Amino acid sequence: MSLIDLLKEKLEKQLVAYDEKLEAAQAKAKARKAEAEASVAGAELEEQFLSEVNAIKDKMAEGQVYLKELSEAGEEKAEEIKLKVASFFD
């Protein structure tokens, strides 16, 4: 076998090795991209749920204020409080 043939064979083997590395790197990049997209989607979903939880907590606090106000108020303020509380039930 000539030197040229040996070098060609060595180069071809190295190209095959690089091709395998390339495929592995592409698969890894694709997997990381999917993880990143899932992470972003997960973070957005978590943020959405957190926002929803905070809105419910705010409504509960508002309800507690109305409940306290009702407990301390007399019948003469019932209609006034009823108007304020109406938005709570929306």
The confidence score (pLDDT) of residue 57 equals: 93
- Give the integer Cα–Cα distance in Å for 30 and 37: 11
**Confidence grade of residue 40 (pLDDT, cut at 50, 70, 90):** confident
With 90 as the cut, is the pLDDT of residue 89 above it? no
Q: How large a percentage of the chain has pLDDT more than 90? A: 30
pLDDT in tens, 51-86: 999 999 998 898 888 888 878 877 777 778 778 777
Q: Is 70 exceeded by the pLDDT of residue 5?
A: yes
> Measuring CA to CA, how many Å separate 77 from each of 29, 60, 64, 68, 87?
66, 22, 17, 13, 17
Residue whose C-alpha is closest to residue 88's, from 69, 48, 61: 61
Residue type, 14: Q
